[in-house]
Structure 1
Amino acid sequence: MKFHYIVRGIIRDGEHVLLCKQKDGDYTFLLGGHIDFGEAAKVALEREIKEEIGADVSVGEFRGAIENAWEDHCEISLVFDVSHDLSTLDTPQPASPAEEHLAFVWVHQDDLQLHNLLPTPLIDWLKDESHCNWATTID
């Protein structure tokens, strides 16, 4: 089974959170992606968000880690708060042709479950301001 080392960013505008999904997908996730070998998690998150939406961001506090099992791989996701200068509730567009399979949406924190946010522990985390969380979907 494959293992993925992931970093994700919580981008907020008030009580809304910016989520990402594959255009043909049935679930959403936080912006971010794979951490390259030898790359710091915060640097990877800045790079991934720049690649996804073309925005320069500032990575803030560590919010926690989630281990998650998918059908064909396992992953550890490190989650950070992210500061941004995005226009209020403007929906970003993919920054490059390599990211055109993605769509972005601002979702109110009370509606996260309706958008099938994965991994599911994020739903509770995003309603709570606590830090240094840990969660697992692996029994």
Structure 2
Amino acid sequence: MKTHLLARAVIQDAGHVLVAQARGFSHTFLPGGHIEPDEGMRAALTRELSEELGLRVEVSRFLGVVEFWWTDRQGQEHYELNHLFSATSPRLRHDLPVASQEAHLSFEWVPLEQLDTRRLEPFPLRNLIREGAAHAWFASAVQ
């Protein structure tokens, strides 16, 4: 089983959340990505957002962790820990398109009530984002 340690951003504006989609896949996910060796989570998220969006994004409050297990198209099993942070940028607004800096990704603003139809993964994030939380989240999609 391959293990992934990830830092992801919950970027919201006016009842919408910014999601990413990899070309050729039907599900969406939050912006961010893998933490490199000798890199902290906030630094990794700041780097990933700069690479993906071409913007300086302010990473703020830690929101929690969501673990997830999945099998890829080749049958390889994956386990991931998504560390979630709130993030903002004055240049990220739901009424403006978001240009991807990486050819394999696209970004879109999704109304909170459409997170299910846009297949946001890991799926526990759908309710956590819609409901918000005053304390750190933990959710699991692992049996």
Fold conserved (TM > 0.5)? Answer: yes
Task: Give the aligned partner of residue 135 of structure 1.
Answer: 139
Mapping 1:49-68, distance limit 5 Å: 49-68=49-68
Mapping 1:5-44, distance limit 5 Å: 5-44=5-44
TM (normalized to structure 2)?
0.91
Gaps of 5+ in 1: none
Number of residue pairs matched by the alignment: 136
Compute the RMSD of aligned alpha carbons. Answer: 1.0
Task: Give the aligned partner of residue 74 of structure 2.
Answer: none
Find 2:80's aligned residue among 51, 65, 75: 75
Against the structure 1 CA distance between its residues 29 and 88, is the aligned structure 2 distance closer, same or farther, given a 3 Å change threshold? same
C-alpha separation in 1, matches of 2:93 and 2:140: 33
Mapping 1:97-116, distance limit 5 Å: 99-116=102-119
Gaps of 5+ in 2: 72-76
C-alpha separation in 1, matches of 2:111 and 2:29: 14
Which aligned runs of 4 or more in structure 1 are off by greater than 2 angstroms?
Answer: none
Against the structure 1 CA distance between its residues 2 and 128, is the aligned structure 2 distance closer, same or farther, given a 3 Å change threshold? same
1:128, distance to aligned residue in structure 2 (A): 1.8
1:19, distance to aligned residue in structure 2 (A): 0.3
TM (normalized to structure 1)?
0.94
C-alpha separation in 2, matches of 1:132 and 1:138: 19
Percent identity between the two aligned chains: 34
